[in-house]
Structure 1
Amino acid sequence: MNLLLIIGIGFFLLLVGALLGRYYVPDRRPLKRAAEEGRAYVRGLVEALDGDAKAAIDEISKALRGNTDTLEAYFALGTLFRARKEYERAVRVHQALLLRRKLDKKTQLRVHRQLALDFEAAGFRRRAVKALEYVVARDKKNVKAFEELSRLYELTGDWERAAAVQKRLGKLDDRDTSELQAHLFAQLAQKQMDEGDTSAARKSMRRALSANSSSIHALHVLALLQRREGNGAAAVKAWQKALAQAPDLVAFFGHRLEETLYELGKTDEIDRIYDGLIETYPSNVHLRLAQARFDAKRNPRRALAALTALCEEQPRLLPARREAAKLVLQEGDADAIRAAFEELLSALDTIDRGYRCEDCGHAERDLFWQCTSCSSWGSVRVAWGRRAGENAAR
C-alpha cells in the first residue's frame, strides 16, 4: 500500500512538473525586445559617431517603434534632427514629449532647453528666449540656462535684461560680472542716445559706472553723451581717464579728445595731456605717434623729427613712416622724398605676401593645399600684410 502511495505521489509530482514546464516557462520575448532595442541604440550611436545622422535617426526610430517609453531616445532623435537642420521635426519631437502626463519637472525643463536650441538654430531667437525664460523661472539656480539666456538677450539687443542676468549669475556662482554688466549698460546707453533719449541714456550710464567705474567702454559712451549735451570739459575728463588705462587706443580716442578741446578753445591742453601720458608710458609708440600727428598741424619740422626718431626705433611701424612721408612731400625736397620712399620700400620688404586659410584664419608663408590647422582643402587665400614667416590664427 505504501509503495503504491509513493508511486502515486511520484507520478503526480512528475505530472505537475510537466505541466509547469509546459505552461509556465518564462516569456523571453520582452528580453529579446530589450536586447534588440539596445542593439538599435548602439547602432544609432555608431552611425552618429561616424557622421551619418540619417542612418542614426533610422536606427533610433526603429528602436522607438518597439518601445515608446525611452525618453533618452527622443532626446537623441531631436538632437539628430537639429544637426541635420530639420528644425521643424526636432521641435515636433520635443513638443511631443511635453504632452506626456507623467513627465517630471526636471525632464520638462530639459525639454524646454532643447526647444530653445531648436528655435535658435531655426532662427527664431525670441521663441528661444521664451523657452529659456520658462526654464529659469522654474529653476532659479540653473547656471547653464542663465548663461544661454544672457547670450540670447545680447543677440537680440536686449541689453538691460542681459545685464540683469549677468548680475544674477554673479550671485549664483560667485563670479565677477561687473565688467560685463558695464559693457551691457553702456550698449544700452549708446542705443538710447542714438534714439535721441538722452535722459534714459544718463540713467543707463549711471548703472554702467555703478557696475564698474573704470570700464573703458562705459567711459567712452559717457564722454559721447556729455559732449552731445554740451559738457565738453566733462567729456575730456572721461576720455582722459579711458586713455590712462588703455593708451594703445589713442588712435580711437585721441582725435575725439582733440576735436573737443579745439571746440573749447583749449588746444594747448592737448600737448599737456599727451606729455602726461607719455611720461607715464614712455615706451608707448601709439602715444608718441598721436602726439607727432597733432604736432604736424602746427610745427611740421618738429613733428618730422619726432617721426624720424620713432621710425629709427621701430622700423616696421608703417603708420609712422606714412605720416613722415606726408610731411616730406609737403616740404617738396626731391632728395628727401626719394630717401623717404626708399626707407618705406625697405620697411615693406619685411612684410610678405603669405597665405591664409579662409575657414580658420591659419596663415603660412608658403602656399598650402590643405590647412595644417583645420585640415580643410581648397581654403587657401592670399593674405597680404603678414610679416614674413608669421604663423598666426585670426
Structure 2
Amino acid sequence: MLELLFLLLPIAAAYGWYMGQRSAKRDQEDISNKLSRDYVTGVNFLLSNQTDKAVDLFLHMLQKQENENEIESRSQFEAELTLGNLFRSRGEVDRALRIHQALDRSPNYTFEQKLLAKQQLARDFMTIGFLDRAENLYILLVDEPEFAENALQQLLVIYQKTKEWKKAVNIAEKLAKIYPQENNIELAQCYCEYVQSLNTENAIEKRQILQKALLVSSRCVRASILLAELDMEEENYPQAIKNLEEVLRQNPDYIGEVLSSLKLCYKKLDQLDNFELFLIRAEQQVKNDEVDLALAKLLEEKDGKAAAQTKLYQQLSKKPSTLIFHRFIQYQIDDAEEGRGKDSLILLHKMVGERIKQSAAYRCSNCGYQIHKLLWNCPSCRHWETIKPLSAQEHN
C-alpha cells in the first residue's frame, strides 16, 4: 500500500502542472476538476484496499494525459516511469518492460533519467526471473554513486539465488565497507557457503575464510561447526571440542546440533566424564530437550536405565516434552512384563514416534516457516540464521 502511494507522487505532480496550465480557460475547468476528482477517488480506492480499481483509474488518467501531449519532458518521463512501475505492481511485467525499455532507448531523456529507467528495468527482470539481464544492468549501476548501494544489494540477492558464492562474498564485502556492522550475519554466512562450495581439499584456505566469518560475526555458529569438522578430519579432537563447545556461548539454541559430534570427540579422547560436565553446564544455561536426552543416555551407560528413567521423569514433571516422553515410554516398555499393558505401551510409543516424524523439527523465528532439516537461510523470508530447532524455541 505505502509503495503504491509513493509511486503515485510523480503522478500527483504531473497532474498539478496539468491543471495549473489549463485553469485559465473556463471551458477547460471542468476537465481539470474531473481529473482532480479522479485522483482523489483513486487515492480513496487505495486507502480502502481496492488496489485494482485504483491502478485502473490511474492508468486511464495517465494514458489520457499522454494522448493529449500536455506534459513537459521531465514530467512525462516521471509519469511514464510510474506507469511502468504500476504495470509491474499488478503483474503485467511485459508492459512494464516495454515502457522502461522505451525510456532507456529514447534520445529525448538525460543520462540521469536513463539510469532511473535502467534501475526499474532491472527490477522488471528480477520479477520475472531473468537474473542474468538484471545482473548486467546492476553491474552498470554500481559505478553510479546514487545507485550503487541498491545495485550492490540486488546483486547480492542474485548471487545468493544462483549460488555464486565467491561473487556473493565480494559484493557483501563491498556493502560492509559502505555500512560497517558489528554483527554482519549475511557476510559471515556467505563465507560459510563459499567454504562449502569449494572443491579443494586445502584446509588452510578454508580455515582462513571461516576465521573471516567469525571476525565479522563472532556469534556465527555455522563457522564454528565447520571449523570443528575440519579439526575432526585431521583428528585434532581437543581443538574440535573447543570449537563445538563455543556454540553454547554463541547461540545456545543450536547446542543440540553439535552434541553427537562433541560426544564422539570426547570418546576418542576417553573423556566422557568431561562430556557429562559440559552437558550439566549446558543444562544450567539453556532448556533443551537434546541436552536432557544426552544426559539421560550417559546416565544409562554409567548407572543403568533406572537412573536415566528417573532423570527423564524429573524433566517431564517440570515441563512436558514429546521427545522426552517418547524416550521415557521406551524405558517403561523395557521394564514392563509381557501382556496387554506392555502392548499398550508399545502402541503408545509407536503413535508418539509417528507424531514426531510428521512434525517439523525446525521453524523460522522470523516468518514461522517450518521444515524437517536445518537450513541457514529461510526459503520463505530469505533471512539468515532464523531457522532454529523447535525443541529449543518451545522452551523460550
The two structures share one fold, judged by TM-score above 0.5:
yes
| 8 Å CA contact 1:41, 1:60 repeated in 2 | no
Counterpart among 59, 69, 75 of residue 57 in structure 1: 59
In structure 2, what is the Cα distance between the partners aligned to 1:177 and 1:165?
Answer: 17
In structure 2, what is the Cα distance between the partners aligned to 1:175 and 1:92?
Answer: 39
In structure 2, what is the Cα distance between the partners aligned to 1:265 and 1:334?
Answer: 38
After superposition, where does 1:298-317 map in structure 2 within 5 Å?
298=302, 299-314=304-319, 316-317=320-321
Counterpart among 225, 228, 248 of residue 230 in structure 2: 225
- CA 41–161 in structure 1, closer or farther in 2 if over 3 Å, else same: farther
Aligned to 1:292: 296
Counterpart among 324, 335, 341 of residue 328 in structure 2: 324
Counterpart among 109, 117, 137 of residue 111 in structure 1: 117
Encode CA deviations 1:73-121: one digit per residue, 9 max, x unaligned.
2112211222333323212211111123353343233222211210111
Aligned to 2:244: 239
Counterpart among 42, 46, 53 of residue 39 in structure 2: 42
Secondary structure at 1:271 match in 2? helix
Q: Which is bigger in relative contact order (C-alpha 8 A, separation at least 6)? A: 2
Encode CA deviations 1:352-372: one digit per residue, 9 max, x unaligned.
xxxxxxxx979xxxxxxxxxx
Question: How far off is 1:271 after superposition?
Answer: 1.7
In structure 1, what is the Cα distance between the partners aligned to 2:301 and 2:126?
Answer: 52
The yes-or-no answer on 1:81 pairing with 2:87 is: yes
After superposition, where does 1:326-345 map in structure 2 within 5 Å?
326-333=330-337
In structure 2, what is the Cα distance between the partners aligned to 1:61 and 1:327?
Answer: 76
| 8 Å CA contact 2:168, 2:190 repeated in 1 | yes
TM-score by length of 2: 0.67
Secondary structure at 1:137 match in 2? coil
| 8 Å CA contact 1:113, 1:131 repeated in 2 | yes
| 8 Å CA contact 2:244, 2:262 repeated in 1 | yes
Counterpart among 277, 285, 288 of residue 282 in structure 2: 277
In structure 1, what is the Cα distance between the partners aligned to 2:96 and 2:338?
Answer: 72
- CA 46–140 in structure 1, closer or farther in 2 if over 3 Å, else same: closer
The yes-or-no answer on 1:155 pairing with 2:157 is: no
How many residues are aligned here?
323
Question: How far off is 1:306 after superposition?
Answer: 0.7
| 8 Å CA contact 1:153, 1:162 repeated in 2 | yes
After superposition, where does 1:86-97 map in structure 2 within 5 Å?
86-97=92-103
Aligned to 2:193: 187
| 8 Å CA contact 1:37, 1:63 repeated in 2 | no
In structure 1, what is the Cα distance between the partners aligned to 2:88 and 2:45?
Answer: 13
- CA 209–175 in structure 1, closer or farther in 2 if over 3 Å, else same: closer
Encode CA deviations 1:354-392: one digit per residue, 9 max, x unaligned.
xxxxxx979xxxxxxxxxxxxxxxxxxxxxxx9xxxxx9
In structure 1, what is the Cα distance between the partners aligned to 2:62 and 2:132?
Answer: 31
Asked which structure has the greater CA Rg, the reply is 1
Counterpart among 206, 209, 215 of residue 214 in structure 2: 209
In structure 2, what is the Cα distance between the partners aligned to 1:39 and 1:260?
Answer: 75
Output the amino acid matched with 1:66: E
Question: How far off is 1:317 after superposition?
Answer: 1.7
Higher mean C-alpha deviation, range 243-252 or range 168-177: 168-177
Encode CA deviations 1:20-76: one digit per residue, 9 max, x unaligned.
xxxxxxx969x8899599669838955983313455434422322223730122112
Higher mean C-alpha deviation, range 171-180 or range 104-113: 171-180
- CA 245–269 in structure 1, closer or farther in 2 if over 3 Å, else same: same
Output the amino acid matched with 2:231: Q
In structure 2, what is the Cα distance between the partners aligned to 1:127 and 1:33?
Answer: 46
| 8 Å CA contact 1:40, 1:63 repeated in 2 | no
Secondary structure at 1:289 match in 2? helix
- CA 222–48 in structure 1, closer or farther in 2 if over 3 Å, else same: farther
In structure 1, what is the Cα distance between the partners aligned to 2:269 and 2:131?
Answer: 46
Aligned to 2:378: none
In structure 2, what is the Cα distance between the partners aligned to 1:150 and 1:37?
Answer: 46
Higher mean C-alpha deviation, range 317-326 or range 268-277: 268-277
Question: How far off is 1:328 after superposition?
Answer: 1.9
Question: How far off is 1:122 after superposition?
Answer: 0.5
Identical columns (%): 22
Aligned CA RMSD, in angstroms, stands at 4.2
After superposition, where does 1:376-391 map in structure 2 within 5 Å?
none
- CA 48–58 in structure 1, closer or farther in 2 if over 3 Å, else same: farther
Contiguous gaps of at least 5 residues in structure 1: 1-26, 352-359, 363-385, 387-391
In structure 1, what is the Cα distance between the partners aligned to 2:291 and 2:216?
Answer: 29
- CA 132–48 in structure 1, closer or farther in 2 if over 3 Å, else same: farther
In structure 2, what is the Cα distance between the partners aligned to 1:41 and 1:106?
Answer: 31
Contiguous gaps of at least 5 residues in structure 2: 1-23, 356-366, 370-389
After superposition, where does 1:345-384 map in structure 2 within 5 Å?
none
Question: How far off is 1:240 after superposition?
Answer: 0.8
Higher mean C-alpha deviation, range 290-299 or range 301-310: 290-299
Question: How far off is 1:197 after superposition?
Answer: 6.3
Aligned to 2:363: none
- CA 271–122 in structure 1, closer or farther in 2 if over 3 Å, else same: same
| 8 Å CA contact 1:98, 1:108 repeated in 2 | yes
Output the amino acid matched with 1:296: E
